[in-house]
Chain A
Amino acid sequence: ETGVTQTPRHLVMGMTNKKSLKCEQHLGHNAMYWYKQSAKKPLELMFVYNFKEQTENNSVPSRFSPECPNSSHLFLHLHTLQPEDSALYLCASSQGGESWDEQFFGPGTRLTVL
């Protein structure tokens, strides 16, 4: 495996379900990100982890709970979601620190909340 991988690629869940999205990067990076991409809206940053520490929470509702057990893995735990949370969720990684490095994105998880 190379680059950034995300599982599952597609997820359909009810509002009372609990599910988790997984992201794994094989690039040796130290920073990982969750983004939300809704139809007709710009990509929105949700969370940033730098060296396993959360450094950014962009006013995300508590029904989204991130977890970063190590620099290679990032999870997004979902519970009691709303239909408006249906979107493409993208994970990204970068070198981290103060470099002007680009972010490498995974293929995304297409989430549908019924």
Chain B
Amino acid sequence: AQKITQTQPGMFVQEKEAVTLDCTYDTSDPSYGLFWYKQPSSGEMIFLIYQGSYDQQNATEGRYSLNFQKARKSANLVISASQLGDSAMYFCAMREGRGAQKLVFGQGTRLTINP
């Protein structure tokens, strides 16, 4: 079974609109961390935001916020006021258990921002 599922292969959004990228995960470990990364065409993976399984509040970093719904096992990324530079691949990833270093990635979503 896939640990991380991103159901949207591609999304097209108008500039300045908000966009939500979906991510669901599967784990039986009560302690885990969820990450979102952005990969522009240059190839480098850029860390965006992190949510811990015990965090009480949803994580926010500037225009990025994470809509964490633990019971549903979902960790959707919300980008507010999208910009042309947001066009990229976006990956959701999970680490299970404290001390673990293995990151499991989803298939990714290609986001295209239209002017």
Contact = CB atoms under 8 A, between A and B. Distances in A.
Interface of A: 31, 33, 40-43, 45, 48, 50, 55-56, 58, 88, 90, 92, 94, 96-98, 100, 102-108, 110
A100 B50 contact: yes
A105 B44 contact: yes
Interface string B19-60: 000000000000001010100001111110010100000000
A100 B103 contact: no
B68 interface: no
Interface string B91-115: 1010100110111111110000000
A105 B35 CA distance: 13
B33 A48 contact: no
Contacts of B106: 42
Interface of B: 4, 33, 35, 37, 42-47, 50, 52, 91, 93, 95, 98-99, 101-108
Nearest to B55: A100
Given A42-B106, A102-B47, A105-B45, 12 more contacts: A42-B104, A42-B107, A45-B104, A50-B101, A56-B101, A58-B102, A100-B33, A102-B35, A103-B47, A104-B47, A105-B37, A107-B44
Given A92-B45, A108-B43, A103 B103 contact: yes
Contacts of A33: 101, 103
A45 B103 contact: yes
Nearest to B33: A100
